[in-house]
Amino acid sequence: MKRIAESTVRRLSLYLGFLEDINRRGTTTVSSEELAKLGGTTSAQVRKDLSLFGSFGKRGLGYSVTELLERLRRIMGLERRWRVCIIGAGKIGAALAQYEGFSQRGFDVVAVYDSNPARVGEALGDLHVRDVAFFERDAESEKFDIAVLAIPARGAQKMAERVARAGIAAILNFVPGQLTAPPKVAMRTVNMAMELEALSFALTNRD
Amino acid sequence: MKRIAESTVRRLSLYLGFLEDINRRGTTTVSSEELAKLGGTTSAQVRKDLSLFGSFGKRGLGYSVTELLERLRRIMGLERRWRVCIIGAGKIGAALAQYEGFSQRGFDVVAVYDSNPARVGEALGDLHVRDVAFFERDAESEKFDIAVLAIPARGAQKMAERVARAGIAAILNFVPGQLTAPPKVAMRTVNMAMELEALSFALTNRD
């Protein structure tokens, strides 16, 4: 498959969310115009995005909601479940470990790690925090697909490299500082301080 | 001030983080090349970004770290503190209410709201969850600058409009679904399911 821009992947996620809503309401077809309106884009953009993955829909009839849903889910790898481990059981890691939104979308949090002995053994929902010293051993036997890094900036780069060496090819990064994705690892970053700084900037530079 | 692209604001945040690191290490000057290398961009881009805010630095001598830090903090509105309220005291809202990263960056969480009577009164660090029925009254007297929305998608658009009507001009949005920023409100979105979907896409479409 040719390389797909990040912004396209983002729109595919949006379309998927809309289609799930539309499907729940029992609507069976949708036009590119409707998807465009929901996603704040143009119908030409919607058709272009979807055409990347083969031909969908019929001119004038719109798309079949169930067919489009199924194909989008397959394209995005969401017709299966993913095994997620969380590294860092502080405030953010602990909240993520218990966040139901993940399993609802097909992402099962199966392990949580910390290096702090005071946290190891602590219960988080159905899981108990494990000692990160056992991370490599577990990754081998439990086949984690995605690692969520919710640890302080200091030591985070080394941990990202441990993740990569353990054969995990995707990182969701909550580290509050600079982190470079190891080679061949897909990484997405959620930097809440940076989002707040953008709001501070917007409030400060209003007209 | 002319309109600044979101990607520029993001890089300013990155530069700020690097400068804080550099400053802590006691280094007094920095070149655009060094900032570029840390931020994964070009020195021309760094100079262009910084020149948007007046002239900085001297050719060949680099930038004074403390001067650049001070000016960047001023540009971004980070030389002051911001009053943040969190709406939604579920797993994510509760974790955010106790997340020290916010106050470290100048964002003080001063109130947390929920509509669920079972959560109202609950202690979260130094705060107690308040009934969202009192949100408008409090917003008037307590002058919140930023509202963090950590509530389910259903009802979120109405809540965003209540926030806007209460005179709050910035929203940090954790709602797991589509939300449109009310007019004149700056909004930044953290959509964790979308980030995980992007990883699922990357894992599925690897070479």
Q: Which domains does chain B have, with CATH numbers?
A: 6-75 (1.10.10.10), 82-194 (3.40.50.720)
In whole angstroms, what separates CA A148 from the centre of its chain?
Answer: 10
Q: In a mutagenesis test of the B interface, which of A197, A204, A205 is the best target, namely the one with the most B β-carbons within 10 Å?
A: A197
Nearest chain A residue to B201 by CA: give it: A76
**Residue B186: strand pairing partners:** B170
Give yes or no for a contact between B185 and B170, defined as CB atoms under 8 angstroms apart: yes
What is the C-alpha separation between A112 and B189, in angstroms, rounded?
Answer: 26
Q: Tell me, what's the pLDDT at A59? A: 67
**Tokens standing for residue B37:** 């290398």
Q: Tell me, what's the pLDDT at A151? A: 95
What is the C-alpha separation between A134 and A128, in angstroms, rounded?
Answer: 13
User: Model ipTM?
Assistant: 0.90
**Tokens standing for residue B104:** 């470290």
Secondary structure of residue A56 in the 3-state scheme: coil
Q: Is B181 on the interface with A (CB under 8 A)?
A: no
* Binding-face residues of A in 142-161 toward B, CB within 8 A: 145-146
Q: In a mutagenesis test of the A interface, which of B190, B199, B203 is the best target, namely the one with the most A β-carbons within 10 Å?
A: B199
pLDDT digits (tens, 9 = 90+) for B166-207: 999 999 999 987 789 999 999 999 988 889 999 999 999 886
Chain B partners within 8 Å of A82 (Cβ): 196, 199-200, 203
Backbone angles phi, psi at A28, to 5 degrees: -105, -20
Q: Is B103 on the interface with A (CB under 8 A)?
A: no
Q: What is the mean pLDDT of residues B52-81?
A: 85
Structure letter (DSSP) for residue B35:
H
Residue B120 in this model has a pLDDT that exceeds 80: yes
Closest CA to A145 of A77, A89, A72, A69: A77
Residue A203 in this model has a pLDDT that exceeds 90: yes
- Cα first-last separation, chain A: 45
Q: Is A190 on the interface with B (CB under 8 A)?
A: yes
pLDDT, greater one: B179 or A40: B179
Nearest chain B residue to A76 by CA: give it: B201
- Cα first-last separation, chain B: 45
Residues with Cβ within 8 Å of B149's Cβ and at least 6 positions away in sequence, in order, are: B87, B88, B156, B159, B160, B163, B171, B172, B173, B174, B175, B179
pLDDT digits (tens, 9 = 90+) for B134-172: 999 999 999 999 999 999 988 999 999 999 999 999 999
Q: Is A114 on the interface with B (CB under 8 A)?
A: no
Place of tokens 């081998």: A140
Backbone angles phi, psi at A97, to 5 degrees: -60, -25
Chain A partners within 8 Å of B54 (Cβ): none
Structure letter (DSSP) for residue B154:
T
Burial code (b: 16+ CB inside 10 Å, e: under 16) for B43-67 equals eebbbebbeebeebbeeeebbbbee
Q: Tell me, what's the pLDDT at B59? A: 67
What is the C-alpha separation between B128 and B112, in angstroms, rounded?
Answer: 7
What is the C-alpha separation between A205 and A200, in angstroms, rounded?
Answer: 9
Closest CA to A144 of A181, A101, A111, A188: A111
Chain A partners within 8 Å of B125 (Cβ): none
> Could you tell me whether strands A127-131 and A123-124 are parallel, antiparallel, or unpaired per DSSP bridges?
antiparallel
Q: Tell me, what's the pLDDT at B84? A: 97
pLDDT digits (tens, 9 = 90+) for A70-128: 999 999 999 999 999 999 999 889 989 988 888 888 999 999 999 999 999 999 999 99
Shortest Cα–Cα distance, B149 to chain A (Å): 13
Identify each DSSP E strand in chain A by its residue range: 29-30, 63-64, 82-87, 107-114, 123-124, 127-131, 146-149, 170-173, 186-189
| Contact between B193 and A105 using a beta-carbon 8 Å cutoff | yes
